[in-house]
A and B are shown apart, each in its own frame.
Chain A
């Protein structure tokens, strides 16, 4: 047993190394100068240089992109989770003709990944006059997050005992009141899961913003990182600092929401 665990720890160290080293390369590289990096790409900072990080943090551009990304992600998540939970409620707690057809329609969306639809979407958004507009990115992202939101929420809402609903209706609560005051609070774990999924996919999305935004002040962070890289290709140190700083929001969010995220994924494939 202990020999097996020995092999296990060895493998674990290898995994940590392979995963973490590229991240350290970025973070530590930001504390060096480009000359130092060119001389020894795998070296450590010495002396430590703070200028790169200070410069990026002091530039309004970085904060602007951060704000753009946050705004789009918040709008997309709110719409997806808001509309998604309303639809999931209708599809789980009402009986009406065509209910399964509606549900199937939404689940069909799981087969239409946003990447495939981006060019048609771009043409469509152009027609709607939504280019260079944060909504032009947030609305499609919300639309494409709806299917998974509904697929996760419906069984969850379905599992909440009918007796609770009966009791609430007997007490004179309207059905929508039951939804708002009882069902939604009870669905909090599932709501958290779908929110995290919608937020992260919006935060990281690259292709749609790439087409929709031409004006660099509208860019989101992933777009900004890629653009910064190609525009400052001689200044490796600054690219690394910019990239390191743009990793922080995603990683922080991940550490905070890790349990929900992993829980959501694990829950979704309980098979």
Chain B
């Protein structure tokens, strides 16, 4: 996403700046003032609430600290070592990675098929698009409560399965440590599939119909045209989606916290629920800060590597293009 840094060169040339009256020196002062006036509020807000907390957390993470009183117990990197050597945190990292992998393996093909479907001239297409997108607008909290109730033992899902003659498939959806992560993944898919579909639909609209037609004239089947013409052209959109999906998976919190609290027996703990559970609920702020820094470094490393190796091809792409 930081392709943003490689934005197009700007067009406003400097010769335009000092024109409004007065001597050049006065107008330069004036321009400086204007710039300060325009940039300062945003900068203060951004530095004060984005950069400072992360810096402060790095500092706290070197101490053993319960959140009260002065920082006296300097422990160096012990908090980091403790976190990485704990089974629960290792499990949490694994859960995040499983969710990220499942997201790509399951949601990507699903989103692409749905987007291709919705790109056809079906009746009620607009309505269909809105329906697919609707769960994405709901908060994760609402989504979690809905599915928590539907997945109760003997609840809606179980009854529907039994009614359809699939009674053997009924599980302890949220209480079985072997299943809970996959149940959560289904809920995540329900909520976020619309986002992928909308992104890909937008990408599809940028592909001229003539390309498909030309392929068809050359004797390509519909599947071949999709596979060899449409999908490669969707590349940039797909790469952006993967980026957002992985970052999202690494930070998974709300759904898990409300539906399972990371349980049963830590079977659905994620890095973020672990962070809040230890850092906040148990007042281990130094340790929690270390976990926050780890989570941050993991996201940041992924972002940089992904940017370097996958997004590089779409130099001008993604968010820098913005709304035109």
A251 to B136, CA, bound (A): 10
Q: For chain B, residues 241 to 297, give those with C-beta under 8 angstroms from any C-beta of chain A.
A: 247, 251, 253-254, 257-258, 272, 275-276, 279-280, 285, 288-289, 291-292, 295-296
Task: Tell me if B132 and A15 are in contact (CB < 8 A).
Answer: yes
**Is the C-beta of B100 less than 8 angstroms from some C-beta in chain A?**
no
CB distance B50 to A109 under 8 Å? yes
Contact B149 A236 (CB under 8 A): yes
Q: Are A117 and B53 in contact (CB under 8 A)?
A: yes
Q: Are B324 and A156 within 8 A (Cβ)?
A: yes
Q: How large is the interface on B (under 10, 10 to 19, 20 to 34, 35 or more residues)?
A: 35 or more
Which of B1, B122, B135, B206 makes the CB contact (< 8 A) with A271?
Answer: B206
Which residue, B19, B49, B117, B276, has most C-beta atoms of chain A within 10 A? B49
Q: Is the CB of B145 within 8 A of A79?
A: no
Which A residues, 203 to 253, have Cβ-Cβ distances below 8 Å to chain B?
203-207, 210-211, 221-223, 225-226, 229, 236, 239-240, 243, 246-247, 250-251, 253
* Residue A174, interface by CB 8 Å: yes
CB contact list, A184-217 vs B, under 8 A: 189-190, 193, 200, 203-207, 210-211
Determine if B303 and A22 form an interchain contact, defined as CB atoms under 8 angstroms apart: no
Kindly list chain A residues whose C-beta atoms are within 8 Å of the C-beta of B149: 25-26, 29, 229, 236, 239-240
B292 nearest in chain A by CB position = A119
Q: Is A117 touching B289 in the complex (CB atoms < 8 A)?
A: no
- In the docked arrangement, what's the CA distance between A25 and B256, Å? 21
Cα-based distance from A19 to B296 in the complex (angstroms): 33
A113 touches B251 (CB 8 A): yes
Shortest Cβ gap from A12 to chain B (Å)? 6
Measured CA separation A107–B46 after assembly (Å): 11
Asked if B205 and A266 make an inter-chain contact with CB atoms under 8 angstroms apart, the answer reads yes
Q: Determine which of A95, A121, A169, A246 lies in contact with B13 in the assembled complex, contact meaning CB atoms within 8 Å.
A: A95
1/0 contact trace for B134-150 toward A, CB 8 Å? 11011111101111111
Residue from A29, A121, A162, A250 within 8 A of B12 (CB atoms): A162
Docked complex Cα distance between A199 and B224 (Å): 42
Q: Known A92-B10, A143-B46, A240-B149; judge A246-B142 contact (CB<8 A).
A: yes
Q: Bound state CA distance, A183 and B171, in angstroms? A: 58
Residue from the list A11, A140, A200, A266 in contact with B198, Cβ < 8 A: A266
Residues of B within 8 A of A223 (CB): 141
- Which 10 A-B residue pairings sit nearest by Cβ, starting from the closest? A266-B202, A120-B57, A222-B141, A267-B323, A143-B49, A204-B139, A95-B14, A271-B236, A107-B4, A87-B42
Q: List 13 A-B contacts (CB under 8 A).
A: A22-B147, A41-B154, A90-B35, A109-B50, A111-B2, A117-B57, A139-B49, A142-B49, A155-B322, A156-B322, A243-B145, A265-B195, A268-B318
